[in-house]
Amino acid sequence: MNFLEAFRGELAHEAATTRKLLERVPMEAGAWKPHAKSMTLVLLASHIAEILDWIPAAVQLPEMTFNMKDYKPPFHATTTELLAAFDKGLQEGDKALKGAQEASLGELWRLKVDGKVLLEMTRAQVLRAMVMNHLIHHRGQLTVYLRLKDVPLPSVYGPTADTPMGT
């Protein structure tokens, strides 16, 4: 099995878990945040929904450029919008991965912000760090937000206090 096949399988697994959490986001509490320096609940969920959008850029483009004065973070006001954005990112990401060449994964890729290189790493490293690890990191934050809002948590890597073994 090559990297792309393994990554696609892992992505499908992690996306299913992530989607279960996004389904539970109480959008009526979207402006809530656990700390003054934290993102709001809806901004965190919206950010999670956009992370998979990096996949086509990582495998099809030599770099991605952000102009911070023009960047507007995504904001999904409803669960339907949130899930549609996530599902679209997953579908387009998987399509891009299917069309990618294993040999291209060692090529350098850059992220530029306001004309400056913020990071430079191989395409494989971008998929691992800036997509998968980034998704899992923010998903972990979301579980804390949901727990603090008394939302029952689904199984992530095993049972939770809300989903005992076997459920």
Q: In this predicted model, what pLDDT tens digit does every residue of 31-86 receive, in sequence order?
A: 999 999 999 999 999 999 999 999 999 999 999 998 888 888 889 999 999 999 99
pLDDT at residue 119, rounded to an integer = 93
Query: Which residue is associated with the tokens 């299917």?
Result: 98
- In the chain, the amino acid numbered 63 is E
pLDDT category at 167 given cuts 50, 70, 90 is low
SS3 label, residue 40: coil
Neighbouring C-beta atoms of residue 106, cutoff 10 Å: 11
Domain that holds residue 98: 3-148
* Average pLDDT of the residues of the chain: 95
- Nearest Cα to 46, choosing from 116, 145, 124? 145
Q: Which helix (H) or strand (E) holds 58?
A: helix 54-60
Domain with residue 134: its CATH number is 1.20.120.450
Is pLDDT of 164 > 80?
no
pLDDT at residue 35, rounded to an integer = 97
What gap in Å lies between CA 52 and CA 132, rounded to an integer?
8
Domains identified in the chain, total number: 1
On whether residue 158 sits in a domain, the answer given is no
